[in-house]
Chains A and B, each alone.
Chain A
């Protein structure tokens, strides 16, 4: 609906000005998201391609000797790849959101929807990464929820920080949706 109205009534000069001011931020956001996803996937792929090194890392973490079969290792890699899929989804949502802003649709329901999707993708990514940590440790050690003598590593302080950011993004999405509806009403005043 908002798209139809914005096309009917045309963009105001304030919106055009806002678009030109945020253009570089949106481009930076898109490039950063693309670099982040490529970097992350590459790092994880390189790390998990060295089975001996990964096994050694987990042996040090749990202070034990691990005998990991190829099948079990493959399952662990599959779990990590699922986690990577959420990273790709987050980057895609950020890309689309910035693209929507670049197209000039800032205060639109469509942009608010992409912001909401980004928040949801971030929340899913966070939950999946925590579950993946537990699952990978369990698969590689052969124990359910193994305890490391080096400390509890399944839930980290940065997870809480990520959760705060994700909740903030979701709250912003609701605020922007309300703003988009108000802007839509305002656009219908001639």
Chain B
């Protein structure tokens, strides 16, 4: 899928652990892990709002659109 989740990058920049983020945004650590590895079908605006608030960033810092290369 061309949508890339850069949550691990933002976590590293903010020097925050997944567990800490999970506690702050009120979802399980497993779900944070699944989100980091792009194994989810979607992200609720509510979750995105909490992540942005916790990491002090914009949605664009977390989600990135990378179009699939032609011929692949």
Chain A residues engaging chain B, CB cutoff 8 angstroms: 8-10, 185, 188-190
Q: Are A189 and B43 in contact (CB under 8 A)?
A: yes
Q: Are B28 and A188 in contact (CB under 8 A)?
A: no
Contact of A8 among B30, B41, B43 (CB under 8 A): B30
B51 to chain A, nearest CB (A): 10
* Chain A residues, Cβ within 8 Å of B27: 190
Report whether over half of chain A's contact residues are helix, strand or loop; otherwise say mixed. mixed
Which residues, 23 to 44 on B, are CB-close (under 8 Å) to A?
27-28, 30-31, 34-35, 39-44
CA distance A119 to B42 in the complex (A): 35
Q: Are B34 and A189 in contact (CB under 8 A)?
A: no
Q: Are B42 and A189 in contact (CB under 8 A)?
A: yes
Q: Are A10 and B44 in contact (CB under 8 A)?
A: no
Of B41, B43, B44, B47, the most chain A CB neighbours within 10 A belong to: B41
CA distance A8 to B35 in the complex (A): 12
Q: Chain B: which residue is nearest A188 at the CB level?
A: B41
Q: Are A185 and B30 in contact (CB under 8 A)?
A: no
Q: Are A189 and B44 in contact (CB under 8 A)?
A: yes
CA distance A190 to B43 in the complex (A): 5
* Chain B residues, Cβ within 8 Å of A189: 40-44
A103 to chain B, nearest CB (A): 20
CA distance A57 to B34 in the complex (A): 68
* Chain A residues, Cβ within 8 Å of B30: 8-9
